[in-house]
Amino acid sequence: MKFNVVIEKDEEGGYIAECPTLPGCITEGDTPDEAIENLNEAIIGCLRSRLT
């Protein structure tokens, strides 16, 4: 399953990543790659919580 993601540079440093398809599924990381990795885990958690 693939989702569109939005990554933005945070004004205070680091990056914020979110999945617009899953409202509230948002995370951060020190680098864009870390933010994406964290978002992958967050997406799995969001989907699991919505299926149970």
pLDDT of 1-47, one tens digit each? 899 999 999 999 999 999 999 999 999 999 999 999 999 999 999 99
pLDDT of residue 50: 86
User: Is residue 52 predicted with pLDDT exceeding 90?
Assistant: no
Number of neighbouring beta carbons within 10 Å of residue 52? 5
pLDDT of residue 23: 93
Exposed, middle or buried: residue 36 (CB in 10 Å: 0-12, 13-18, 19+)?
middle
